[in-house]
Copies of this chain bind each other. A is one copy, B any other.
Amino acid sequence: MAKTDVLTLAILGILRDRPHHGYQIRKLLGVELGPFRALSYGSLYPCLRRMVEAGLIEASGDEPGNPTPASSRRARIAYSLTEAGRARLTTELANAGASSWDDDAFDVRFSLFAHTDAATRLRILEGRRSRLAERLEEVSEGLKRMHERHDAYTAELQRHGLEQVEREISWLDRLIENERSAPGGDHHGSASADH
């Protein structure tokens, strides 16, 4: 019951400042997380429905429930956070534990960093880093062990994966460094300011 999935969290984050239509939510998510990582309508609308049922968001606008037959206007539904939704977002932002460092979860949480406190940011950053370090261990161990058993292409793929992980780790190190040297939160630009 308490498990807030990533998609829900992302939507809560987008709806934080002002209401949006489903269509807009999808667009914004696509921009925020890069053009890849875009969610499809096949997940969006079911998720919105679930959130409405859970009382996290509210639908407003000319819903089909009110036919207004004269104007014949189509349904254009704007979703906005309820108090419960805003509360959920707050608690979820403060709670860094429980697999905030999975691949999908991490960038969603990262994109919400501006609304979090420095301690949580650091916790997530370091959690992600240690997870990546584990992977690094596994991959490089596997690389050693397979020396003769696999072809050059497979090895090349592994080496590339290894490099990607190393890159991301040093990226994280840079961010952690910045976060530590600016405990107030605002490390460059207007990160924790409202806008």
List A residues at the B interface (Cβ < 8 Å): 31-36, 103, 107, 110-111, 113-114, 135, 138-139, 142, 146, 150-158, 160-161, 163-164, 167-168, 171, 175, 187-191, 193, 195
Contact = CB atoms under 8 A, between A and B. Distances in A.
A151 B114 CA distance: 7
B157 A110 contact: yes
Contacts of A146: 31
A107 B36 contact: no
A157 B107 contact: yes
A157 B33 contact: yes
B191 A34 contact: no
Nearest to A106: B157
A154 B114 contact: yes
Nearest to A154: B111
Contacts of A164: 164, 167-168
Given A36-B103, A107-B157, A110-B153, 19 more contacts: A31-B146, A32-B150, A34-B142, A34-B157, A35-B138, A36-B135, A111-B153, A111-B154, A113-B153, A114-B151, A151-B189, A151-B190, A151-B191, A151-B193, A156-B175, A160-B171, A163-B167, A163-B171, A164-B167
Contacts of A135: 34-36
B191 A142 contact: no
A1 to B, nearest CB: 23
Contacts of A190: 151-152
* 9 shortest interchain CB distances as A-B pairs: A152-B189, A114-B151, A113-B153, A152-B191, A35-B138, A34-B161, A114-B153, A111-B154, A152-B188
